[in-house]
Structure 1
Amino acid sequence: MKIPGIIDAHIHFCREEPYFNHIAELAGHENSSEHLKGQYAEHNIVHAVVMGNRGLELSQHNYPDYLSYCIGLDSTCFNTGEIVQQADLVAKHLQRKNCVGIKLYPGYNHFYIYDPVLDPFYQLAMQYKKPVAVHTGLTATSQALLKYSHPMVLDEAAVRYPQVQFVMCHIGNPWLVDAVAIMDKNENVAADLSGLLEGRIANMPDFFARKRGYIDFLKLWLEYLDNYDRLLYGTDWPLANISNYIEFVAHIIPEEQHGKVFFDNANRIYGLGL
């Protein structure tokens, strides 16, 4: 399926790491910059946003020009004795043109995103007018704690920081009703549709038939929300097959809304200027 001009608002870019090499292979891909660039040319993907999960050193975040990134924070960034230095490093990232936001991993690192210890980082997001993306929903490891990644945590954060644009990654899956309720109530919360598929699906019509209940449920609540200005296409690459994911999102989003979800919203929310 060809859709003109796609922005993938949620990928990971960890070259030559065994875990990412393995999941890329399961998705029918190769975990390399060359392969990704070729796939993007084939599928009309003009840009992508990397969810950083490395350290805070600037040297750890060098990406090809077709990628922007969000600087990822884990709980080690919230040590009160070092918070000034850590905030200074985050500020240096946000001053970069290709750093388009902050990414939080609360479930993996066991913190609530509305904890006042995060205030310096939210202040930076407001100062530089860049969004804060938050991992919500299920996690990839059993050591994570779901109470921190439940989409409900975004309600208090969105109220406490009304000037911050939040992006609810993975739309809180499987807590879709809660996720939609948070978005319906809080205008400063958007959501990306990444991480809803994994691996390579050989027969998409069969997949749509087998997963009809889940897909109809997802479509129902997106229709209930009826706000396609705050939904972003994303894959969580290399977790999922790119061709499969385009077909999946095109299936759950009304055709007249494709331009917004596949391109416009990410371009606006992440300030890509494309």
Structure 2
Amino acid sequence: MKIIDAHMHDYQNSPYFDQIARDAGHENSEEHLRQVYRQLGIVGGVVMGNGGLSLQEHCYPDFLHYCIGLDSSCFADGRLPDCADLVEAHLQRQNCVGIKLYPGYSYYYVFDKVYDPFYRLAQKYQKPVAIHTGDTSMETAILKYAHPLTLDEAAVRWPKVQFVMCHFGNPWLTDAAEVVAKNPNVAADLSGWAVGRFSLGDFADQYSGYLQQLRTWTGYVGDYSQLMFGTDWPLVNLSDYIDLIRYLIPERAQEQVFFENANRIWALGL
């Protein structure tokens, strides 16, 4: 079975993420990632872009596409209105497949009009907007902005924009499932549900209630064509995480979730 990693990161030359990768049983390098992808049948990945907006900062190997990210640095000193032209330059690139927003780390709800210029660009170029939802990794983040229910209003206001709810809103799974089920223009990726290395048996024993919730609420969506596999690389061991998602998603839907949906939604042409 072919696999697409629909949510990963590219943190090269970072001692912090080098250690995170080692904790997950990996090496934080392009060569290692290419090798492990090949071994596991992962034919491509979508980088959730961090950092600056210059074109030179976003150069990726041929097996990766990327979303241009509007992280908190774009909101400093009123810079956001000046970012639209740079974002458009990225969207004109073939390997830039969308926009990534980071509510929670940025103190704006995703339905705020501050994002309207970027939703217009996404609609113009017919490329999705990925939205961070759920838990955050920084104490300075504010969780209310990252709640998945806020995505409902953006989806209604922008029905021609394809949204991707990152992390399925974890831990607000009930609300996330309803937003995806209600809105045909909202998909979700299943990344960020575990970190590091783990054995599936031990993980299932220790977190049986959590995994039952994940299975219940992804099933509640009722349409597995809206769900995509993702790893949040380099935060988790890739092989372990594939096993986890296979455990949670019915076999009849696995080809969709692991490959077909991401290939369609991100227009990867794989």
Q: Which runs of 4+ in 1 moved over 6 A?
A: none
1:245 partner amino acid: Y
1:74: Cα distance to partner? Answer: 2.3
Partners of 1:208 and 1:257 in 2: CA distance = 21
Q: Given that residues 75 and 111 in structure 1 are in contact (C-alpha distance below 8 angstroms), is that contact kept between their aligned partners in structure 2?
A: no
Match of 1:159 in 2: 156
Say how many residue pairs are matched: 270
TM-score (norm 1): 0.96
Q: 8 Å contact 2:149–2:179 — kept in the other structure?
A: yes
Show the counterpart of 2:4: 7
Q: 2:176 aligns with which of 169, 176, 179?
A: 179
Q: CA RMSD in A?
A: 1.3
Separation in 2, partners of 1:118, 1:76: 15
Out of 187, 192, 195, the position equivalent to 1:190 is 187
Residue 104 of structure 2 aligns to a residue whose secondary structure is helix
Match of 1:104 in 2: 101
Secondary structure of the corresponding residue to residue 69 of structure 2: strand
Aligned twin of 1:40: 37
Q: Is the 8 A contact 2:167 2:189 kept in 1?
A: yes
Length-normalised TM-score, structure 2? 0.97
Q: Give how far 1:80 is off.
A: 9.4
* Match 2:265 to one of 252, 263, 269: 269
Aligned residue number for residue 69 of structure 1: 66
How many Å apart are 1:184 and its aligned residue? 1.4
* Equivalent residue number for residue 221 of structure 1: 217
Residue pair 2:75, 2:106 contacting (<8 A) in 1 also: no
Per-residue Cα deviation, 1:206-225 (whole angstroms, up to 9, x for no partner): 21122111111111112222
1:199 paired residue number? 196
* Shift in Å, 1:82: 5.0
Contact 1:137/1:175 (8 A) holds in 2: yes
Q: Which moved more, 1:108-117 or 1:260-269?
A: 108-117
**Alpha-carbon deviation of 1:78?**
5.1
Matching residue of 1:240: 236
Offset, 1:124: 0.3
Alignment correspondent of 1:143: 140
Matches of 2:209 and 2:2, distance apart in 1: 30
* Residue among 224, 227, 237 paired with 1:231: 227
Whole-angstrom CA distance in 1 between matches of 2:64 and 2:21: 18
Question: Do the aligned partners of 2:181 and 2:222 also contact (CA within 8 Å) in 1?
Answer: no
What do the CA deviations read for 1:209-262 (whole angstroms, capped 9, x no partner)? 221111111111122222100000000000000000100000100001111000
Secondary structure at 2:160 match in 1: coil
* Shift in alpha-carbon separation, 1:124–1:211, aligned structure 2, 3 A: same
- The residue number in structure 2 matching 1:20 is 17
Q: Alignment partner of 2:192: what SS?
A: coil
Letter in 2 for 1:105: Y
CA distance in 2, matches of 1:188, 1:200: 34
Which structure 2 segments of 5+ residues have no match? none
Instruction: Specify the SS of the correspondent of 2:26.
Output: coil
Q: Which amino acid aligns with 2:269?
A: G
CA contact (8 A) 1:183 1:190 kept: yes
> How far 1:200 sits from its partner (Å)?
0.6
* AA in 2 matched with 1:23: I
Specify the SS of the correspondent of 1:244: helix
What is the DSSP-based 3-state SS (H/G/I as helix, E as strand, rest coil) of the residue aligned with 2:68? Answer: strand
Which amino acid is 2:187 matched to?
Answer: A
Q: 1:43 to 1:152 in 2, by over 3 A?
A: same
**How far apart, in 1, do the equivalents of 2:248 and 2:136 lie?**
23
Identity %: 58
1:54 equivalenced with 2:27 (yes/no): no
Q: Residues 123 and 79 of structure 1: is their aligned pair in 2 closer, same or farther, counting only changes over 3 Å?
A: farther
